[in-house]
Chain A
Amino acid sequence: MSTKPLLQRVAIGPRQSVPFELDGVACSGFEGDTVLTAVLAQGAVLRHSEFSDAPRAGFCLMGACQDCWMNTADGQRLRACSTLLQAGMRLSTRWPA
C-alpha cells in the first residue's frame, strides 16, 4: 500500500493536530481538515471499488460525485469530502468484515 501522500498541504501557519486511526493505524491530521484531506495526506486511497477493487481517492471534492464514501470501524458511512475530521475517528478504506 502506497503511503506517499496524494495531497500536498500549503503552509498557512500553526494548526491544532487531530489524531485519528486509518485502517487500524494511528495517524494525525489538522483541525479544519475534511476526512478526505486527512486521509489523502497520509496516502492515496479512500476506498476500493466494489467491482474491480481498484483504489479510489475521490474526484470532485464538492459532494457531487459520491466517490469518497468511507466506512468507520463500526460500520457507519461518511462522505469524506464533506465530513470534518474529528479526534478519535476510526476510519476504514474497506467495508467491515
Chain B
Amino acid sequence: MTERLQADVAIIGGGIVGSSAALFLRRFGLSVVLLERSLCGAAASGVNYGGVRVQGRSLSQLPLALRSREIWRTLPEVIGIDGEYVPSGHLKLARGEADLARLEAYARQVEGQGLDLQIVSGASFRRQYPWLGAQAIAGSWCPGDGHANPRLVSPAFARAARAAGARIIEHCDVTELGHDGSHFVLGNARGLSVRAPRLLNCAGAWALTVARAYGDDAPMESIHPGMAVTEPMPRFMDVNIGVEGGGIYGRQTTRGNCVMGGSRGTSRNPLHAQPRAVAIAELCQRMAELFPPLAQAQVLRFWSGVEGSLPDHQPIIGPGTKHPQLLHAFGFCGAGFQTGPAVGEALAQWVHHGRASVPLEPFTIERFSTAAAGAPLHSPSSTSP
C-alpha cells in the first residue's frame, strides 16, 4: 500500500534527538515526518544509564549541555511526565591525588560557566559520603546535575511531538535514501514515500548508512556500554556518581534499585547488544569496591545497548558536506541523553532560522573529512580536558 507524504522536514531516527527535534520543529510551525525503524526511544536513548550530567563534558559541549539542563528542569511541561528526573547532583570521584588534580584543573577551567563545582575532600568528604569505598578520596560535586529514567523520557519526547502534530511512523525501516534535486526522497519496502526539503539524520549508531547515502562519512564505531541493576535496596546513595577517568558510574533510583555502568559488551546482532560475562565480572568488581553497601547485593539484570562513538569523543552535529539541507546529529559516544533535548532544539532552530542558539562548530562532520584524504584522524582526547 503506497503512501506518499510531504513535509517541511523529514527525520530519520526516533531516539531522544530525533524526537525532540520533531517536537521543537512543531513549535516553530514546521511540518514533520519522523521515520523510526522500531519503536521511538527503544535504542540507546531508552536503555542508557540515565545520567543527566553536565560535569565532565568538554568545554565545547558546555553551551549545549547547559541549555539542555534548562529544558530538563521544565521536563513535565515539555513532555508531560517527570520521567523520574531527580536533581540529585553529580559527584565525580577522585581515586588518588592525580585524579584530584585533574578534577581541580577542570573545575578551574569551567569556573563561571554555571556548573558551580565544589571540590569535597578529606574529613568533610568522608563525613558526607560514608558509604563510598576507601579508594575514593575526594570528589567534585556538581549540584545542578541529576539522573532520570530513559525508558520513560525518550518515548515521551516522541509522544509529545506526535501530540504537537508531528507525523511519527514506527516500524519503518528506511531502505531508500535519495534526492531529486530539490527534495530528499525516502522510502521503505512497503511503499511509503516521504519528500522533504530538509532532512535530519538522527539515526544514532546506524547513522552512517544515511550519511554515506548523501556523500558523508565518519569513523564511527558501535560501542556497547555494559549496565547492571540491583534488586531494590535500602537507600544509601543519593547522588549520581562518576569517577575521574571514567569506567564506572552508579545511581540509586527512588525505588531503591542501584543502576551501575562501566564495562563493554558485544553486539548480538546489528540491533541488540549484550554484555559479555567477563565485562560483567569486571563491572561487579568495581561496583563492590566503590560501593561497599553493595557487597551483599544481588544483580537482577545486565544489559547493553548500541551507541555510536567517535575517536575524539565528540558527536557529529551539523550540515552535510554535499547537502547543506541535511543536518546530522549522531555519535554521542554514550553521553547523549542529557544533551538530547538541546540538540533537538538546536536542529529545529537551524532549520527554522538558519542558526542554533548554541555554538556547534566543534561538531561538524567535516572534521573527519581530512581522514578521507589520508590525513591522520584527530587523536582521542578524554572528555575531561
Contact = CB atoms under 8 A, between A and B. Distances in A.
Interface of A: 50-51, 69, 75-77, 95
Interface of B: 231-234, 255-256, 295-298
Contacts of B233: 95
Contacts of B256: 50
Contacts, number: 15
Nearest to B256: A50
Q: Give the 3 A-B residue pairs with the shortest CB-CB distance, closest first.
A: A50-B232, A75-B296, A95-B234
Contacts of A76: 296
Contact of B255 (A50, A69, A77): A50
A77 B255 CA distance: 19
Nearest to B295: A75
Contacts of A51: 232, 255
Nearest to B234: A95
Which residue, B231, B234, B256, B296, has most C-beta atoms of chain A within 10 A? B296
Nearest to A97: B234
15 contacts: A50-B232, A50-B255, A50-B256, A51-B232, A51-B255, A69-B231, A69-B298, A75-B295, A75-B296, A76-B296, A77-B296, A77-B297, A77-B298, A95-B233, A95-B234
A75 B234 CA distance: 11
A94 B188 CA distance: 55
A interface, over-half SS: loop
Given A50-B256, A75-B295, A95-B233, 6 more contacts: A50-B232, A51-B255, A69-B231, A77-B296, A77-B298, A95-B234
Contacts of B231: 69
Contacts of A50: 232, 255-256
A9 to B, nearest CB: 31
Nearest to A51: B255
Nearest to B231: A69
B156 to A, nearest CB: 23
A92 to B, nearest CB: 12
A34 B297 CA distance: 22
Contacts of B296: 75-77
A30 to B, nearest CB: 27
A25 to B, nearest CB: 22
B84 to A, nearest CB: 14
Nearest to B293: A75
Nearest to A94: B234
Nearest to A49: B232
Contacts of A95: 233-234
Contacts of B295: 75
A68 B161 CA distance: 44
A84 to B, nearest CB: 19
A95 B295 CA distance: 14
Nearest to A96: B234
A75 B298 CA distance: 12
Nearest to B232: A50
B103 to A, nearest CB: 32
Contacts of A77: 296-298
A95 B297 CA distance: 11
A76 B232 CA distance: 14
A89 to B, nearest CB: 15
A88 B48 CA distance: 44
B187 to A, nearest CB: 47
A51 B257 CA distance: 12
A68 to B, nearest CB: 13
A95 B230 CA distance: 15
Nearest to A50: B232
Contacts of B297: 77
A65 to B, nearest CB: 14
Nearest to B300: A66
B171 to A, nearest CB: 34
A49 to B, nearest CB: 9
A14 B13 CA distance: 69
A72 to B, nearest CB: 9
B244 to A, nearest CB: 30
B130 to A, nearest CB: 14
Nearest to B257: A50
Contacts of B298: 69, 77
A97 to B, nearest CB: 8
